Chain A
């Protein structure tokens, strides 16, 4: 019992810290592509500390506060279900559909809070976010179906174990197609550039986030960090072979090695997303919906069909 709690705490701290580093990496890489220097890598941590120590906090009622906590809670729960190398609290139950679902819940939480603020910008942002959420379901569903069809299981941990023997998922054509579709979907899940329609800085002044300040924004930053970690982790687990290393005799060395391997894979996923974010301009919401229902859907459906043959 205590061991599980400690494990959960470790996962939480690790996810938060690495998530913040990821946010820092995104900022540095984006800056370098713009030929700037960029902030130090720990800048998001400083930002969050600053936000959490603000004196005035605006609240618009219970749902406004609850929505944020709901988002953070869902993200934390998602992290607990995803196998993190050979550390995992609930990894035996972490099936694909559950995790996919949990990764989308935070967006709903933010929508709750945003809508209850009564700000029209937040309303527009929420609309756009929900439409994006709707649009990404189709390719996402097909990608999951392709995976489940190929491996014959929904359990993420079993998929990771299967990749140990059969090679990485992206080495197989049907799953490669699913991975491409999923990577495009990731862009919207991160809220990164071609599909950052719901945040849209400069277009609808931060959208849902427009009313948040102080502690709410700080919590959202933490949520974003954990979500980045969770989404990259999930992608690395199901498509890049996860990270279960059994090369060393000592279990601690194994754990560290598998975390390191996973980290490399996660950073790779993150870098692809950052490159896309840095070089492509934002879609409008109708273009995004059309896009998601066209190319990623076709690719992922093809993958699903190939996987079931």
Chain B
């Protein structure tokens, strides 16, 4: 058998002699320019495709809940939405940034590329309940998000304030560019909520979703369980 020699750096080459004078060399940095980013005055550009907040194309999301299943933090919940008096046929994912780890698995797994992300990463609020609403949103369409991001370039959450009216279930996003983004949340989960049913226009659509959705959901849930056990 061929002999193998492992190369090991000898002790004498690795060990240095302690010195009293050498530490004084570091005083040279006193006269060099500090390597600092003065944050309120200068800003740092995040890398392209830095994993930030999500965007969602409401037109192409098919409500398949793939994102909800892969999410390691269970941050995604399907939400039934009514825009301008019309119930959306499919549920859309709602992301909870209190739990999200920004792994962007949900973006990779989305079959229609409806879910995306932008580079914005800053979201700070006070402890007040109404401000904490900001952490829980149905992501806005990518064009709007990008537009706000490009115009401000402060890498902050594009929504200033989220108002949720408990009675009418109406949600208003006050976007940073001054626009308002309104819709109603009818319910959560994979099954269409009762509120979506009585409307004659939405009825057939909602039912078909129900038929398709339920068996799918059950199938998906079954293989998901052993995964949970592994964790």
Contact = CB atoms under 8 A, between A and B. Distances in A.
Interface of A: 29, 31-38, 275, 278-280
Which of B29, B30, B31, B36: most chain A Cβ within 10 A? B30
Nearest to B22: A279
A35 B27 contact: no
B226 interface: no
Contacts of A33: 26-27, 29-30
A280 B26 CA distance: 10
A33 B26 CA distance: 7
B34 interface: yes
Interface string B16-59: 00000001101101111011101000000000000000000000
Contact of A279 (B27, B34, B36, B38): B27
Contacts of B32: 35
B23 A280 contact: yes
Complex A-B, nearest 5 residue pairs according to Cβ-Cβ distance, in ascending order = A279-B23, A35-B35, A37-B34, A37-B36, A32-B30
A133 B24 CA distance: 26
Given A35-B35, A35-B36, A36-B36, A279 B30 contact: no
B38 A37 contact: yes
Interface of B: 23-24, 26-27, 29-32, 34-36, 38
Contacts of B30: 29, 32-33
Contact of B24 (A36, A37, A279): A279
A31 B29 CA distance: 10
A280 B20 CA distance: 9
A34 B29 CA distance: 7
Nearest to B26: A279
Nearest to B28: A33
A277 to B, nearest CB: 11
A36 B34 CA distance: 5
Nearest to A278: B26
B33 to A, nearest CB: 8
A289 to B, nearest CB: 19
A37 B37 CA distance: 9
A32 B34 contact: yes
Contacts of A32: 29-31, 34
Contacts of B29: 32-35
7 contacts: A32-B29, A32-B31, A33-B26, A35-B32, A35-B35, A279-B23, A280-B23
A33 B32 CA distance: 9
A275 B24 CA distance: 8
Nearest to A281: B23
A270 to B, nearest CB: 14
A70 B36 CA distance: 42
Contacts of A38: 34
Contacts of A36: 34, 36
A31 B34 contact: yes
Given A279-B24, A280-B23, 8 more contacts: A31-B34, A33-B27, A34-B29, A35-B32, A37-B36, A37-B38, A275-B24, A278-B27
Nearest to A32: B30
A280 B25 CA distance: 11
Contacts of B38: 37
A187 to B, nearest CB: 14
Contacts of A275: 24, 27
Contacts of B31: 32
Contacts of A35: 29, 32, 34-36
B120 to A, nearest CB: 27
A180 to B, nearest CB: 13
Contacts of B26: 33, 278-279
A260 B29 CA distance: 28
A280 B24 CA distance: 9
Contacts of A31: 34
Nearest to A34: B29
A221 B35 CA distance: 29
B217 to A, nearest CB: 53
A35 B29 CA distance: 6
Nearest to B20: A280
A200 B163 CA distance: 50
Contacts of B35: 35
A247 B32 CA distance: 38
A279 B23 CA distance: 6
A113 to B, nearest CB: 34
A8 B113 CA distance: 77
Contacts of A278: 26-27
A255 B208 CA distance: 94
Nearest to A30: B30
B68 to A, nearest CB: 44
A31 B36 CA distance: 11
A151 B34 CA distance: 46
A33 B31 CA distance: 8
A29 B35 CA distance: 14
Contacts of A279: 23-24, 26-27
